[in-house]
Structure 1
Amino acid sequence: MSVFIGLIGFLGIIIGGFLLLRAVFKKQPKKKVLLLTSASFIMMVGAIALTPASPRINLSKKIIETNDQGIAIIEGKTNDESSISLDGEKIKTKNGEFSYKVTLTDDHSQKFTFVASIGNTDKVETIEVKPSKTFVAFLNEEKQGQETLKKAETALVSAENKPTQKNYDEAATRISTLTRDKDDFTKRLAIVKENIPIYEAVELAESKQTKEQVDSATDLVANATLNKDSLLKRLTTVQQKITEKELAEKQLASAREAVEKAEQEPTDDHYNQAIAKIKELPNSNTELTKRANKVKQTLTAQKEEAKKLAEAQKVALEQEQAAAQTPETPVPDTQETGEMVLVTRTGEKYHNHKCGSGTYTPATLEQAKARGLTPCSKCYQ
């Protein structure tokens, strides 16, 4: 509607101007013409006043670069009626001008879209912000510095967790390359150096596993400033191993003594005691087990021999009883191998019956001859 009224006013001004010129040349009355022209002008001005303003935005550049810190200032102009925003954030304007500060955090360009709004009408302008070469160089230097710092921190933490000379040297080398935040690293490195002898003493105690080394390490750990609880636990473990080792040595000595006794005096009791001692050992002992098995074999052989001897004695007793009931018949000197005879423990003859005093025991003719015994002249006439 305001546009239509403005158009009528504009036409009225043109027509009024034409009529006014004609009235001047012809010297006619000008009052009505002036009234028409004035009314048309008023209508056009009113129409313009009623027409809503359009949003306007004009950025100073389409592409800008940051400074060496990654900062760029975006400048622009607008009309008083417009409000300027960026991603929903309202930008302050003054006398139709505005500026906005942006900071890049990497070496990639970014685009920013500004919106000028009046009511529901918007107008947008986009600007690209590029990182400058000096800022890219700064980022690369910063990245390299961060990597150097990270490597130094990693090496120092490793040295703090395990303060050995090797880890200390690695951390010292990394820290020497730092250009910032060096003081704190240097202080922490000095603490690592103080704890190296303590850590080495604990490692030596773990390796040697002697009471002297444990006592020495314990005295040093009392002054530790790194991983003190962990070091004390490690020493406790070493002490437990030493105690277990001493116990195992005592058990081994006891088992060896029991086996030696069983070897010297092979009896069931001695054998069973040796086996019991071997089973008490924390780890199996092949040598003692083999020696105990030999004792077992000796016992078995003795039992077999005793069994045979008992059987022979039984046979001899039966023969003696039979001989007592029947006339004695000399045993010819041509006995077959396997024939039973009687012998004494210290005698040099073998007999076919009790012949004189002494303790007679049965034996095979082959066994008697193997002992070098000869036939009794009385028994074998």
Structure 2
Amino acid sequence: MLAMIGVLSFVGLIVGGVLSVKALIRKQPNKKVFILTGVCFLLTAGAFGLDSSVPEIELAEKSIETNDQGLATIVGSTNDQSEITVDGEKINTKNGEFTYKVTLKDDQPKKLTFVASIGDSDQAETIEVKPSKAFIAFLNEEKQEQETLKKAETALVLAESKPTQKNYDEASTRITSLTQEQTDFTKRLAIVKENVPIYEAVELAETKQTKEQLDSATALVANATLNKDSLVQRLTTVQQKITAKEKAEKQIAAAREAVEKAEQEPTDDHYNQAIARIKELPNGNPDLTNRANNVKQTLTAQKEEDKKVAEAQKATEQQAQAAAAQTPESQVPNTQAVGNTILVTPTGSKYHNRKCGNGTYTEATLEQAQARGLTPCSKCFG
């Protein structure tokens, strides 16, 4: 607007100047022409003066799309006196023209405000940068690639921490599926492959817990390049378990031997020795414990039987003593005469010092006869 006013005023100034010159030449001064010329002069000076002190900015477009890489170039114009900035960043201008490149990071549009400044005066223009369809497709592909890359990294880290054949195969599949070769991944995967047989040897030693498997794994671990300290510690644990297993086997053998001896010769000492050996076992042994309990039951039964026999003998002796106490003194046999040997019959109730009547007589001691409850014959000991 100011530029147009300036141009029109300038044209008016020229016309007024020409008319004023003609009037002077003709010596016919025209006051109106002089006034018009003066006004045009003032307007021209004012327009051009104001135009140089007002900031101007004009963007080629109000909205722009990016290319397939998310890049957009913004073009604009300004006057020579204006300073152009966007988000606080100064933009260089040349002959009143400027360009600015912006790159979107995602699929969301972005608004930028360009400001032209002269002193304390500002003028702003806003433009919206939109992602193109090609750029959105590129972002989706890149996102998918990043997800694939992340999964490959996760699988590789797992394979490095636990290099089994399964984990190696999974990592290898993930890395192979990448669209761009990852040299670092390939090198790391090769190291995992070298350590797979070492790791599996350690796992086998842990499962079998034999000295043969332990020695084989130990030899391989010496060349491990992944988790070597951890593998050595695991083999140390295997060695400890093997040692404990051998000790337990010896303890079980000793306990079994003690139980067998107690079964063959059931005595309290043998039983106690068997129980002591069983208690030494870290996890016990139900079978040996049951067998020892059977020995205990046998001992208990034997003791009960012995007790019954002892009680029976005691009762017999008490009966004999009672019978002897009831026999008259005159009928007590002269043991010195017969030498404590008397005669008895299988079914008789008396004992004799000679054959007395019919029957089968056998020799016996006085104690044996009294134990049977026999009393002296009145004929023989009358």
Q: Which bin holds the TM-score, normalised by the shorter protein?
A: 0.7 to 0.9
After superposition, where does 1:223-372 map in structure 2 within 5 Å? 223-327=223-327, 355-356=364-365
Q: 1:49 to 1:60 in 2, by over 3 A?
A: closer
Instruction: Report the AA paired with residue 240 of structure 2.
Output: Q
CA distance in 1, matches of 2:157, 2:46: 78
List per-residue Cα deviations over 1:268-322 (Å, max 9, x = no partner): 2222222222122111322111111111112222222222233223222322333
1:138 counterpart = 2:147 = no
Letter in 2 for 1:247: K
In structure 2, the CA distance between the partners of 1:334 and 1:139, relative to structure 1 (3 Å rule), is farther
Asked if the contact 2:23–2:30 (Cα under 8 Å) also holds between the matched residues in 1, the reply is: no
Deviation larger for 42-51 or 311-320? 42-51
Secondary structure (helix, strand or coil) at the match of 1:355 reads strand
Structure 2 match to 1:345: none
Structure 2 SS opposite 1:90: strand
C-alpha distance in structure 2 between counterparts of 1:66 and 1:309, whole Å: 115
Per-residue CA deviation, residues 18-54 of structure 1 (Å, 9 max, x unaligned), is xx78x959x7752876765665456545655775833
How much is the aligned-residue C-alpha RMSD, in angstroms? 3.9
* Residue number in structure 2 paired with 1:100: 100
The SS at the match of 1:226 is: coil
CA distance in 1 between counterparts of 2:134 and 2:41 reads 60
Q: Distance in 2 between matches of 1:189 and 1:359?
A: 100
TM-score w.r.t. length of structure 2: 0.74
For 2:239 and 2:280, the matched residues in 1 are separated by 22
Report the secondary structure of 2:320's partner residue.
helix
Question: Which residue of 2 is the match for residue 169 of structure 1?
Answer: 169
What corresponds to 2:29 in structure 1?
30
Structure 1 residues 69-124: Cα deviation after superposition (integer angstroms, max 9, x where no partner): 22111111122333322223332333322221101122232221222234444332
Identity of aligned residues (%): 65
Inter-CA distance 334–163: structure 2 relative to 1 (3 Å threshold): farther
**3-state DSSP class of the match of 2:163?**
coil
How far does the alpha carbon of each residue in 1:343-370 deviate from its partner, in whole angstroms, 9 at most, with x for none?
A: xxxxxxxxxxx9339999x8xx9xxxxx
The whole-number CA distance in structure 1 between the counterparts of 2:72 and 2:301 is 106
Indicate how the Cα distance of structure 1 residues 282 and 187 shifts in structure 2: closer, same or farther if over 3 A, else same: same
Task: Please show how residues 78-93 of structure 1 align to structure 2 within 5 Å.
Answer: 78-93=78-93
**Contact map agreement 2:85 2:114 (CA 8 A) in 1:** yes
Deviation at residue 263 of structure 1 after TM alignment: 1.6
| Cα deviation, residue 176, structure 1 | 2.2
Alignment of 1:150-169 (within 5 A): 150-169=150-169
1:265 partner amino acid:
E
Aligned amino acid, residue 30 of structure 1: P
Give the aligned residue type for 2:167. N
1:201-234 Cα shifts (integer Å, max 9, x gaps): 1122122111011001100110111121121111
Q: Relative to 1, partners in 2 of residues 1:291 and 1:359: Cα closer, same or farther, differing over 3 Å?
A: farther
Q: Report the alpha carbon displacement of residue 191 of structure 1 after superposing the two structures with TM.
A: 1.6
Amino acid aligned to 2:230: S
Q: 1:331 to 1:115 in 2, by over 3 A?
A: farther
Counterpart of 1:371 in structure 2 is none
Distance 1:334 1:162, change over 3 A: farther
Q: CA deviation at 1:246?
A: 0.9
The 3 A distance-change label for structure 1 pair 78 and 50 is closer
User: Could you say if the C-alpha distance between residues 71 and 161 of structure 1 is closer, same or farther in structure 2, counting changes exceeding 3 Å?
Assistant: same
Moved more, 99-108 or 216-225: 99-108
State the TM-score, normalized to the length of structure 1: 0.75
Gapped regions of structure 2 (runs ≥ 5): 333-343, 350-362, 378-382
Count of residue pairs brought into register by the alignment: 336
Moved more, 255-264 or 135-144: 135-144
Separation (CA, whole Å) in 2 of partners of 1:60 and 1:140: 30
